[in-house]
């Protein structure tokens, strides 16, 4: 059993190309910052250089998750491997949060110490390493950002958030180096910049944890209301009520639902038409791409050939 149906589209080439670009540029950034951190003795630059290691792991995991998703449905995984993107985002969040704790500890230790952690910081070398890093990260974020919005799942959104946060981190490092360059006695500037790096990473991880938990616990996806779905369904001709509604997401780009639909007495052909209209309405208004409806006639003694509890899938 292969193939993708009901909205489970294959991962687009542009997504994989963007992730490959992000991985390659992050590897270059790691080398540039490691070199700059060694020569500058900057805690903030060292922290950001170390932070590139989980970056590379995150991009590689995201890349693999998309490749797994592109394989489509199988006999063992009838929805495909879409959940791989959620686990990838959760791993990304864990790496980012762990990095923020480590960097915060090192920054506070440097602030409390009377002697610089790595020695006197040379802001010139910080500029030499951070300026090309800023350029490379901006290019990487813009390449990945060109991915069509319709294929930006939780996994890819976590990568985009990661990249733009890295741009902000580089800006904070440059600001700290600027203060130190203009006021050499301001030895606090570099560890404060490292604290800013840690704070950005910690804040960055929160929405990733929240969205991953929402998907794995099968909560109703954000922006969707069961009440609003029921009201929209009742606007479809012949639909009298919608109940036993269940809405969840397999991943952020694949929202599913099941429901019982009470209709007027209809033939099987008319019931199919009602279900088709329901599916089109819910996909247009709520982005629900996989829906199964059990149709219940108001009067079991309706037209001949009608099953009062016919199960009809919106295909």
CATH code for position 281: 3.30.70.1350
Per-residue pLDDT, averaged over 118-147, amounts to 85
More confident residue, 261 or 207: 261
Mean pLDDT of the chain: 77
Residues 209 and 247 in one domain: no
End position of a domain, from candidates 160, 192, 216: 216
Residue 175 pLDDT exceeds 90: yes
Per-residue pLDDT, averaged over 286-303, amounts to 74
209 burial type by CB count under 10 A (0-12 exposed, 13-18 middle, 19+ buried): middle
84 burial type by CB count under 10 A (0-12 exposed, 13-18 middle, 19+ buried): buried
Residue 71 pLDDT exceeds 80: no
Between CA 186 and CA 289 the distance in angstroms is: 57
Band of pLDDT at residue 8, cut at 50, 70 and 90: very low
Which stretch of DSSP H or E encloses residue 193? helix 189-216
Residues 71 and 151 in one domain: yes
Between CA 275 and CA 232 the distance in angstroms is: 13
Percentage of the chain with pLDDT > 70?
A: 74
Between CA 78 and CA 71 the distance in angstroms is: 11
Residue 100 pLDDT exceeds 50: yes
Per-residue pLDDT, averaged over 116-129, amounts to 82
φ, ψ for residue 259, nearest 5 deg: -165, 155
End position of a domain, from candidates 216, 245, 270: 216
More confident residue, 53 or 152: 53
Which stretch of DSSP H or E encloses residue 222? none
Residue 222 pLDDT exceeds 90: no
Angle, to 10 degrees, between the axis of helix 123-145 and the axis of helix 154-182?
160
Residues 258 and 116 in one domain: no
Per-residue pLDDT, averaged over 63-80, amounts to 64
**118 assigned to some structural domain:** yes
Between CA 296 and CA 309 the distance in angstroms is: 5
**245 close to 257: Cβ distance less than 8 angstroms:** yes
Residue 272 pLDDT exceeds 50: yes
**30 close to 54: Cβ distance less than 8 angstroms:** no
Per-residue pLDDT, averaged over 250-273, amounts to 82
The pTM score is 0.64
Residues 308 and 254 in one domain: yes
More confident residue, 98 or 306: 98
Between CA 122 and CA 119 the distance in angstroms is: 9
Residues 40 and 162 in one domain: yes
Domain coverage including residue 266 = 226-314
């Amino acid at each position: 059993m292969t193939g993708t149906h009901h909205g489970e589209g294959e991962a687009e080439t542009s997504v994989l190309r963007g992730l490959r670009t992000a991985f390659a540029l992050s590897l270059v950034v790691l080398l540039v910052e490691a070199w700059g951190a060694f020569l500058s003795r900057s805690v903030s630059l060292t922290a950001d250089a170390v932070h590139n290691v989980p970056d590379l792991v995150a991009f590689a995991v995201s890349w693999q998750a998309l490749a797994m998703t592109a394989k489509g449905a199988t006999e063992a995984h009838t929805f495909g491997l879409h959940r791989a993107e959620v686990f990838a985002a959760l791993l990304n969040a864990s790496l980012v949060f762990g990095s923020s704790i480590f960097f915060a500890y090192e920054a506070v230790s440097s602030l409390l110490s009377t002697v610089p952690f790595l020695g006197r910081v040379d802001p010139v070398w910080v500029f030499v390493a951070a300026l090309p890093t800023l350029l490379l990260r901006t290019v990487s974020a813009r390449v990945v950002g060109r991915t069509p919005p319709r294929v930006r799942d939780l996994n890819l959104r976590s990568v985009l958030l990661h990249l733009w946060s890295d741009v902000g981190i580089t800006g904070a490092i440059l600001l700290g180096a600027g203060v130190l360059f203009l006021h050499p006695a301001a030895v606090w500037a570099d560890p404060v910049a490292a604290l800013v790096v840690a704070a950005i990473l910690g804040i960055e991880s929160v929405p990733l944890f929240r969205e991953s938990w929402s998907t794995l616990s099968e909560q109703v996806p954000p922006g969707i209301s069961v009440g609003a779905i029921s009201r929209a369904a009742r606007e479809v001709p012949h639909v009298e009520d919608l109940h036993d509604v269940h809405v969840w997401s397999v991943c952020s780009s694949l929202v599913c639902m099941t429901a019982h639909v009470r209709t007027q007495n209809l033939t099987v052909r008319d019931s199919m038409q009602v279900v088709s209209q329901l599916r089109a309405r819910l996909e247009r208004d709520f982005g629900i791409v996989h829906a199964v409806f059990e149709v219940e006639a108001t009067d079991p003694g309706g037209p001949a050939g009608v099953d009062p509890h016919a199960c009809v899938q919106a295909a």
